[in-house]
Amino acid sequence: MPQRIAVQANVQPTADLLSELVAHLGQNRTQLREEWARRITESVLLTAMTKDEIFAEATSVYDNYVEVLETGSVEALQAYARNLSERIIPRGVETHEVVGIVLLLRDVLARSLFKKYQADFGLLNRVLDAYEPAANRIANTVAVGFVQERERIIRQQQEAIRELSTPVLQVRERLLILPIIGIVDSQRARQLTEQLLRGIRSNRAKVVVMDITGVPSVDSTVANHLVQTVEASRLLGATVIVTGLSPEIAQTLVTIGVDLTKMNTVGDLQGGIEEAERLLGYDVTSTGRLAAAHGDRE
Amino acid sequence: MLGDDELHVQIRSDADVVLARQEGRRFASRLEFSSSDLTVISAAISEIARSILEYARTGDMHIKLAEKNGRVGIVVVARDEGPGIRDVELAMQDGYSTSGGLGLGLPGARRLMDEFELRSEVGRGTTVTMRKWAR
Amino acid sequence: MLVPILRQGPYLIASIQSALTDADLLRLRDDLVEQVGRYRSRGVIVDVTVLDVMDSFAVRTISSLAQMIKLRGAETLLVGIQPEVAFTMVQLGLALTGVATALDLEEGLSYLDERDKGGERVGGR
């Protein structure tokens, strides 16, 4: 007959075991939450938060955790994890901390189950078999929720930084200044070029001063992007003056053999603006001359 | 000619080159492409359609929606039964052309698109498959 | 699609109205090269504002047009290239070197006027 008992044991529905588990977690809610919060502090996790905050969040996570075990649905937990992430990411909570606390809870609960069922090894095994997959799913949901939220925030910030990092400024009629600061990769070069071309068209610019003083390094890829920006601007009828090529960058460019003969370069931004005004200034004098011609006729 | 999720253009004359790039642009505009991307797609289609016309005289172009790893985009498949390309590597080099043109068609299209694949068999024909992903 | 060519003083203005086939482009080139001599024009403006793409054939044809017109003693100016089109052209490696450019027709005309007065010019070279 032992054969039969084993079979019976195996077919004992997981649902029954889970509800027993839920009851156990419900009964020991206070003690287990406290134990968990203590372990979190001990492990130096969530250091950006106060003790009370940790306990409040631990309570919410605990209740959501029990709910998942009870209903099998992770939706509420997912929503809570997103909400929690949104609140704690700006405070500098790291991914390893979130993964760490979820694993701690898993450990705290497993230990309490072990203590409760240690007399009946067979039952303990079955309870753990029911508990493990659910616990893994919960840990996964919380960690993935956190990482996704973090990625969303990073993407948002990248967008914002990109927009901010390439201002196209009109300093006087028909003259734009494009100060480039920071690292230029292919994507940024592309965005910068698109922004400049739109700026040239909407401001009817004739001269652009592109200042690269703030670009830390220029390799052949960056140089080629800059050449493309200059060429595209010319196709819209605008002359680009490049300023701020440091001695190091000038050396690099010559050494790697980038052809910059198409580029109109001036030492610094001030010189670039003077050169631009000289180019544009001709327009002013010619208009003056035109007016004089009209005057002569009258 | 314009189906819901697939576009087919036969390339037989220079008017079809214009048609292919216009219809291709319209097809791509239903996805979230920037106007620069649409122009880039249109130019790449134009280059490939013209290379069909120049080397094989006739061919077919199919434009479909594409999906990979959660990204959406378009895939352009251009096929001809022309003479084929003997040295694919050489044909992909800037400035190389056997028809006296600028020789920018194939390498140019490759630069414009995100993915580009060329298969050719001498005497059997050439297939170009290229993709562009929406942001 | 026929491209209308207008005469404005010493200049010819070809303003493209819609997408052109290769044959249309070649015809435009031949017409301009012929008319620049007939009217003894000093400058030719090709307005491409309506074009939403310029591929290598279009660029090659316009380059050769500009060279032929130069041999006939006039200068060609390409105006109205859209930002996206310019961006795509440089990515294709088609920078149209040797052909002067201006933002639009108005800019193009004032550029040619300036030039004919013998002044130094700004932009577009």
- Which H/E stretch holds residue B20? helix B14-28
Render B88-123 in DSSP notation, one character per residue: HHHHTSTT--SSSS-S-HHHHHHHHSSEEEEEEETT
Overall average pLDDT of the C14-26 stretch: 94
- ipTM for the whole complex: 0.90
Rounded to a whole number, what is the distance in Å from the CA of C54 to chain B's nearest CA? 7
pLDDT in the model for residue A290:
41
- Best A192, A229, A236, A284 member to test C by mutation, with max C CBs in 10 Å, is A236
- Sorted by sequence, the CB contacts under 8 Å of residue C24 that are 6+ apart come out as C1, C2, C3
Candidates A277, A276, A267, A275; CA nearest to A244 is A267
Q: Are strands A207-214 and A239-243 parallel, antiparallel or unpaired?
A: parallel
Strand ranges, E, within A129-206 = 169-172, 175-181
**For A237, which of C91, C102, C119 is closest by C-beta distance?**
C102
Distance CA A182, CA A188 (A): 10
Which class for A48: exposed (0-12), middle (13-18), buried (19 or more C-beta within 10 A)? middle
Q: Say if CB B103 and CB B59 are below 8 A apart.
A: no
Chain-chain contact of C103 with A237 (C-beta, under 8 angstroms) = yes
Distance CA A190, CA C83 (A): 12
Chain-chain contact of C56 with B17 (C-beta, under 8 angstroms) = no
CA geometry: angle C64, C69, C74, nearest 5 deg: 145
Residue ranges and CATH numbers for the domains of chain B are 6-133 (3.30.565.10)
Indicate the pTM of the whole model.
Answer: 0.69
Q: Say if CB B135 and CB B32 are below 8 A apart.
A: yes
Chain-chain contact of C95 with A236 (C-beta, under 8 angstroms) = no
**For A197, which of C79, C83, C97 is closest by C-beta distance?**
C83
| Per-residue model confidence as pLDDT tens for chain A (298 residues) | 444 444 444 445 677 888 888 888 899 999 999 999 999 989 888 888 888 888 888 898 889 888 888 888 888 888 888 888 888 888 888 888 988 998 999 899 999 999 998 898 888 888 888 888 888 888 888 888 888 888 888 877 877 777 666 788 998 899 999 999 888 888 888 889 999 999 999 999 999 999 999 888 887 788 888 889 999 999 999 999 999 988 888 887 888 777 777 778 998 999 999 999 999 975 444 444 443 444 433 3
Output the six-digit token pair for A24: 């156990």
| Chain length of chain B | 135
- Sorted by sequence, the CB contacts under 8 Å of residue A27 that are 6+ apart come out as none
Output the six-digit token pair for C69: 């017109």
Kindly list the residues of chain C whose beta carbon comes within 8 Å of any beta carbon in chain A: 78-79, 81, 83-87, 89-91, 95-97, 101-103, 107, 114, 117, 119-125
pLDDT in the model for residue A287:
42
pLDDT in the model for residue B126:
92
Chain-chain contact of B35 with C60 (C-beta, under 8 angstroms) = no
- Sorted by sequence, the CB contacts under 8 Å of residue A35 that are 6+ apart come out as A108, A112
Q: How far is CA A65 from CA A82, A142, A219, C95, in A?
A: 14, 10, 52, 62
**Which positions in chain A touch C120 (Cβ < 8 Å)?**
282
Amino acid at residue number C125: R
- Which H/E stretch holds residue A115? helix A95-117
Amino acid at residue number A135: A
Q: How far is CA A151 from CA A48, A210, C109, in A?
A: 20, 32, 52
Distance CA A298, CA B116 (A): 66
DSSP secondary structure letter of residue A233:
H
pLDDT in the model for residue A284:
41
Candidates B123, B115, B122, B97; CA nearest to B44 is B115
Query: Hey, how many other C-beta atoms are within 10 angstroms of the C-beta on C22?
Result: 18
Amino acid at residue number A49: M
Distance CA A177, CA A167 (A): 8
**For C107, which of A198, A228, A237 is closest by C-beta distance?**
A237
Contacting subunits of C (3+ beta carbon pairs below 8 A): A, B
Which class for A193: exposed (0-12), middle (13-18), buried (19 or more C-beta within 10 A)? buried
Distance CA A151, CA A147 (A): 6
pLDDT in the model for residue A139:
87
Q: Does A147 touch chain C (CB under 8 A)?
A: no
Domain ranges of chain C: 5-120
Q: Right CATH number for C5-120 from 3.30.365.10, 3.40.50.1970, 2.40.50.140, 3.30.750.24? A: 3.30.750.24
Rounded to a whole number, what is the distance in Å from the CA of B25 to chain C's nearest CA? 10
Distance CA A190, CA C87 (A): 9
Q: Are strands A264-266 and B115-121 parallel, antiparallel or unpaired?
A: unpaired
A277: helix, coil or strand?
helix
Enumerate residue ranges in chain B where pLDDT < 70: 1-4, 94-104
**For C122, which of A200, A206, A234 is closest by C-beta distance?**
A206
Output the six-digit token pair for C13: 């203005």
